[in-house]
Structure 1
């Protein structure tokens, strides 16, 4: 019913000022919250605002660290990403990262994937990353779980590891609280207002003033930044994730079996038993017939499979060029993270970079390729070169 002038209005109270406010306390947001609170404590207050529960990675979710070795921008951050995780483990006493090594396998009979190994080798050489080129015989000698056809080319990266994202999120949140950070859950942010001297953060019932704000709100980032920055052109990517209760646990444990990406007629990415007591097989793209997964595993990695525990479609809204955004807007007062779903191994480092940008206005890490105003995100959509969905990587 319309109550005219007597209609009830929303009253928002202006809360105390904060030096830093983090909007969105998922994986990257909780990492930023920790690194900010560590850098700022005890001289500046840090507040995290999350529309749901803080640190919201699904239990059992595992991601590879520094597996996207075919891209210069990611390879340049491989070492710092490992260091960030080691530092978090050191101060928390928690084991988050397990070294497995990683393989990229190129099927010689598929012209579309030729050059994959050469690209990985070239990127590794430019960034001083330890790699080893193998043939099919070397693959079987090192990991007899595989059954190559013969003629495959393989890149082995010993430094690749896997991280338990659910445990990592909880650890970042706990460490942030230990450094004095305050976290308000179920407090969605509706808008930011930049006054030129500070940023107002508007929630349903309060307005917070901050010197610097970090926005890592996932799919809600553009809505939060309305009026502060132009929307980031986005596309939706999908990945089918299947978990198997393999009966061969010892053969597919992290100490015996690596992360792998097999590039052939289809692209398959596999992870050893970790988090859940199950192996994980991922395939980019729309939902596919189960028979394709089963045929690949039966032919190439026969012991990997077992009773199927679950199959789900992982959906992510990412920048149009499928690379993350790590940058600042509003004259440096607002840090932005977007599209980091595809690079979960960089989570802790991304949080540290955002904290450095907020505290110092700069970072020593090379992030120019992740700028919010890079050409791929500012050209008209017709000028952005499409990236084949099947060629994308999840790190």
Structure 2
């Protein structure tokens, strides 16, 4: 039986960041376990790019947005690697397409209210101003746009690898291809059962995302999580210069469907996805085949609003969202088993990953988190009340 000061289970975005911060705090005696190869494509944190932005629709997230930028800057400084590319960012609301939709605070006014409250500069643009600045877009005249210059891209695959490398530099041990079969309380610590034997840790950070409930069974807990299969497509546009990161921002388009897109980055191609709305699946039963309905939906959107963004499809790739009923994070110790910390990103955590790694470390070490995480507790009604309705923002 091996003994460790801390074990992190799952080395995607949140797990790799937690491994780095735990190793920074504790040095040797920290272990990271990943059931697949490092950088695999079976979870939620693969691929080149994720949007990072200050634009948020709830105070709990807005309070973390600026600290997340600082956390990424610290990782860049320590590693000497560039992880953030600022492109500016747009939230575009097609008010005609959204007419009658229950958007709540997830509309332009909701974002600007939080910007005003948190002192963030922004610009509001009508459809003509939008196309005047970025003629790549085609509008119908009913759009309104919010522009924030600090938005950009965080390189997910590179950042995961950097977090793992920095953790190793601080003395952490990393074991890929090591599935965890169960965890259970073991006195004041945790027993972690793998195919190669049982390990013991003083504390565990469980960042297994779609596999979370399989491992929580050992401590008698099951969370009401929905696993969705989502999809992005890369297009080999011939118009590279006008979609370069210096000339075209990351964007979110809120209309009949909520799309998000990237300039040419990671591949010699643009990238488009749709937030939420994927089919329900399981971690082990999901398909990797692209959804033809989404392919057609993406193509129709681009033909209407971003025709030169398109080109031959380079490839489409699927990923998993693991989502609580309220679509909020889970960042908490387990009731009755405080030596186990659980992390769920709810399909929108990567922009905060470097910061969340530190918050998970605070929780694991029993110190007050550097930023409030009460909204993400495991005892909230969304996770404990069986009658709590799903309220996904799609």
TM-score (norm 1): 0.88
| 1:44-103 per-position Cα deviation (integer Å, ceiling 9, x unaligned) | 521111211234367643101136522322221111111111111111111111011211
Q: Contact 1:67 / 1:102 at 8 angstroms: preserved in 2?
A: no
| Distance apart, 1:25 and its partner CA | 1.6
| Residue 53 (structure 1) aligns with | 37
What's the Cα RMSD here? 2.1
With over 3 angstroms needed to count, the CA separation of the structure-2 counterparts of 1:385 and 1:132, relative to structure 1, is farther
Q: Contact 2:210 / 2:227 at 8 angstroms: preserved in 1?
A: no
Matches of 2:32 and 2:46, distance apart in 1: 21
Matched, 1:296 2:288: no
| Distance apart, 1:361 and its partner CA | 2.7
| Residue 260 (structure 2) aligns with | 269
Matches of 1:85 and 1:185, distance apart in 2: 24
| Residue 61 (structure 2) aligns with | 74
With over 3 angstroms needed to count, the CA separation of the structure-2 counterparts of 1:59 and 1:216, relative to structure 1, is closer
| Residue 119 (structure 1) aligns with | 110
Rg larger in structure: 1
Matched, 1:323 2:328: yes
Matches of 2:173 and 2:115, distance apart in 1: 41
With over 3 angstroms needed to count, the CA separation of the structure-2 counterparts of 1:312 and 1:184, relative to structure 1, is closer
Matches of 1:135 and 1:24, distance apart in 2: 44
SS at match of 1:333: strand
| Distance apart, 1:131 and its partner CA | 2.0
Q: Contact 1:49 / 1:183 at 8 angstroms: preserved in 2?
A: yes
Q: Contact 2:325 / 2:389 at 8 angstroms: preserved in 1?
A: no
Matched, 1:96 2:102: no
| 1:275-302 per-position Cα deviation (integer Å, ceiling 9, x unaligned) | 1111111124244264432232122112
SS at match of 2:135: coil
Q: Contact 1:30 / 1:54 at 8 angstroms: preserved in 2?
A: no
Matched, 1:85 2:62: no
With over 3 angstroms needed to count, the CA separation of the structure-2 counterparts of 1:124 and 1:175, relative to structure 1, is same
SS at match of 1:77: helix
* Farther off after superposition, 208-217 or 295-304: 295-304
| Residue 7 (structure 2) aligns with | 21
With over 3 angstroms needed to count, the CA separation of the structure-2 counterparts of 1:85 and 1:222, relative to structure 1, is same
SS at match of 1:270: strand
SS at match of 2:338: coil
- How many corresponding residue pairs? 372
Map 1:276-355 onto structure 2 (within 5 A): 276-283=267-274, 284-286=276-278, 287=291, 288=293, 290-329=295-334, 330-355=336-361
Q: 1:243 aligns with which of 234, 243, 246?
A: 234
| Residue 191 (structure 1) aligns with | 182
Map 1:115-264 onto structure 2 (within 5 A): 116-228=107-219, 230-264=221-255
The gaps in structure 1 that reach 5 residues or longer are 1-13
| Distance apart, 1:183 and its partner CA | 1.0
